[in-house]
Amino acid sequence: MTAEQQETGLSEKIAAAVQAYIDGLNSGSAEDIADLYADGATVEDPIGAPVRSTRDELVEFYGIITGLETRDATLKWTKIAGDTAVFEFTLVSGTADMKFEITPVDIMVFDDAGKIVSMRAVWEPTDLKQL
């Protein structure tokens, strides 16, 4: 297999993982989302927040989102180069009485199997809008 073929295969795995991440935010469980990560992966969401690096921390973190009554994530765009994906999405989540919208840009680095090894989310508290 040529280097170009390997990169194409990884790009396809990365694109599928990004879509699985968005699907997980929409209707998956915290465990489903954590399954997209490699062992020992790190999550810094948002950049500057404490880094989460264990599966339990990831499940707890994503459990906040997956535990909400409503959640709707829409992928806006994705750029993939080498082992890295950068993408923007909008997430509207909340309860029947209160909803919030945020549009972060996530930077994810992947291993050769297409598992996320690091995720950094670019957003700040003023980006969170109450609807």
Given 21, 37, 62, 106, the catalytic residue: 21
Q: Write down the catalytic residue from 37, 45, 62, 106.
A: 45
Q: Is residue 62 among the annotated active site residues?
A: no
Whether residue 106 lies in the annotated active site? no
Do residues 60 and 77 make contact, with C-beta atoms less than 8 angstroms apart? Answer: no
What does 23-77 look like in DSSP terms, one character per residue? HHHHH--HHHHHTTEEEEEEEESSTTSPPB-SHHHHHHHHHHHHTSSEEEEEEEE
Active site residues per annotation: 21, 45
